[in-house]
Amino acid sequence: MAIQDCNRKITVGIGQMHICGGDANENIENAIYFIKNAAQQGSSIIVLPECLDFGWTNSQAIKGAETIPGFYSDKLCLAAEENEIFVVAGLTERFEDKLYNTAILISNKGEIVGKHRKINILEIAQHLYSKGRSCVVFDTELCRIGLSICADNFPEYGAIAETLGLMGAQIILSPCSWAVPPDYKQEQEPYGDLWIKSYSEIAKKFQIPVIGVSNTGLLEDGAWKGWWCIGASLVVSSNGNVQKQFEFSREGNQLYQIEVELP
């Protein structure tokens, strides 16, 4: 697939959607709503959160997770095709006897271009998800896209993002699920320093934008049960500066749009 000329801008939809823990059907329908509206607003691609089907670390995925391609990814592919928009989405993937925390890239023709399985699985999630074993970059008509997922971008795991940069990614897109304890006070300690640091370092080093999109909603299962996912999705430009950090929100369902400049 040919890559269009560099030194231009693309419009990215930021799908900071609310995820209802364990309710895959409702969450997939919500994702489809985001895809449709992002396309109507003129986005070329939309990024959706991590594990948007069941929610991060939700045990309902043990019985309910699907293969990729499979029931849930097919629905997202159809929405991408009908609305002629690229989609990056986090799903729980069933493969043989394992589950993976996976991000997929869908073309504007509804085809799965490829997928990334999360590598840095936190200890509290290792009972549920197996570790991915590769980094991936995909050539599309938009640009060369690198995929990572949430904690893959921790500073101590910088080799993952650096590998994407070395592989020639022109942008890194990252489904996330950023969570805080129930007593967290955003006014006293604004969220995001960890991600700003890691995103800025990789963006500046390789002169590429880095985007992380997190959901909102209560974690209803797992070691962090009772914690809140809080949005605060982040766009760092290719010079390493924060272009935009979006709303900190526990229960919101927000679709944003931003124009980013490619290298």
- The active-site residue out of 51, 150, 176, 229 is 150
Are 219 and 56 spatial neighbours (Cβ–Cβ below 8 Å)? yes
| HSE value, Cβ hemisphere, 13 Å, CA-based, for 51 | 32
List 115, 118, 143, 220, catalytic entry: 118
Torsion angles phi and psi, residue 161, rounded to 5: -65, -35
* 150 catalytic residue (yes or no): yes
Residue 185 falls in the annotated catalytic set: no
Look-up of token digits 């129930």:
182
Q: Are 78 and 111 in contact (CB under 8 A)?
A: no
- Has 176 been annotated as catalytic? no
Report cis status (omega within 30 of 0) of the bond before 69.
Answer: yes
Four-point Cα dihedral 217, 235, 152, 164, nearest 10: 150
Give the catalytic positions in this structure. Answer: 50, 118, 150
